[in-house]
């Protein structure tokens, strides 16, 4: 009887320990994706120099972030391709209004005249050159610099503590299967000292 009681205790302890593990870090292991719209920042930055109306068809600059959680370790990666594609779409849709504002003219005819005096064959060739310059500038950005790695701990109060390999600490909230970051950023660059990233689970094939 004592042996049976001891065996039962061992089984119960094991089940209890397993249950605790299920409520811990492993429960949230997986892939997550967040999308942040940088258009407001971009429009504000451009607005310091030019007043223009953004296109209703392309007025967002959505950038994807990917969060991976695995056995107490994490990584956050900024998707450089999504940034480049979204910025290209935004600039292509808004470049005419931006250039009109930059040249201080109201019509494309006035723009054409100024460009002819500057030695350009036509507006289209100038526009293509400007758009290419913007797109090519994205290729000079090392997006690997924006990758963050480290360790994480799931807390009982519904938060996750992240500590990067550089020693920085980040606290995120858990809402069901969603993980919400208030990520500290450079205020001079982003116009704010933090941005909110809402990470939701996703399957890897969804990114293709």
Q: Quick: pLDDT tens for 117-137.
A: 888 888 898 999 988 988 888
The answer to whether 108 and 123 are in contact (CB under 8 A) is yes
Residue 52 lies in a domain: yes
How far apart CA 135 and CA 87 sit, in angstroms, is: 8
Q: Give the domain range for residue 135.
A: 29-207
Taking only the tens place, the pLDDT of each residue in 131-156 is 898 888 877 777 777 788 999 999 98
Classify residue 130 by burial, with Cβ atoms within 10 Å: 0-12, 13-18, 19+. Answer: middle
How many domains is the chain partitioned into structurally?
1
Region 85-96 average pLDDT: 87
Report if residue 21 sits inside a domain.
no
User: Is residue 6 domain-resident?
Assistant: no
Percent of the chain with pLDDT over 90: 25
Q: Is residue 11 part of a domain?
A: no
Specify if 143 maps to a domain: yes
In the block, tokens 């492993």 appear at 26
What pTM did the predictor assign? Answer: 0.73
In a domain, 17, yes or no: no
For residue 37, pLDDT over 70 is answered with yes
Among positive and negative, which fits the CA dihedral 143, 77, 94, 98? negative
Q: Is 134 contained in some domain? A: yes
- Torsion-angle region of 72 (φ positive above 0: left; ψ -120 to 50: alpha; else: beta): left
Flag whether 90 is in a domain: yes
């Amino acid at each position: 009887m004592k042996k049976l009681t001891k065996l039962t205790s061992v089984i119960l302890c094991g089940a209890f320990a397993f249950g605790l593990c299920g409520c811990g870090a492993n429960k949230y292991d997986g892939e997550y994706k967040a999308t942040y719209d940088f258009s407001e920042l971009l429009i504000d930055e451009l607005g310091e120099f030019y007043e223009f109306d953004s296109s209703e068809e392309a007025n967002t600059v959505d950038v994807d972030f990917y969060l991976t959680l695995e056995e107490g370790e994490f990584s956050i990666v900024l998707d450089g391709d999504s940034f480049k594609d979204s910025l290209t779409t935004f600039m292509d849709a808004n470049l005419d209004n931006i250039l009109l504002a930059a040249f201080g003219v109201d019509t494309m005819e006035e723009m054409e005249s100024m460009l002819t005096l500057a030695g350009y064959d036509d507006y289209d060739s100038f526009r293509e050159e400007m758009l290419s310059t913007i797109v090519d500038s994205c290729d000079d950005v090392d997006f690997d610099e924006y990758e963050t790695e480290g360790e994480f701990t799931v807390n009982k109060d519904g938060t996750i503590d992240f500590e990067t390999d550089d020693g920085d600490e980040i606290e995120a909230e858990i809402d069901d299967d969603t993980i919400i970051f208030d990520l500290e950023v450079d205020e001079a660059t982003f116009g704010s000292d933090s941005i909110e990233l809402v990470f939701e689970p996703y399957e890897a094939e969804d990114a293709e």
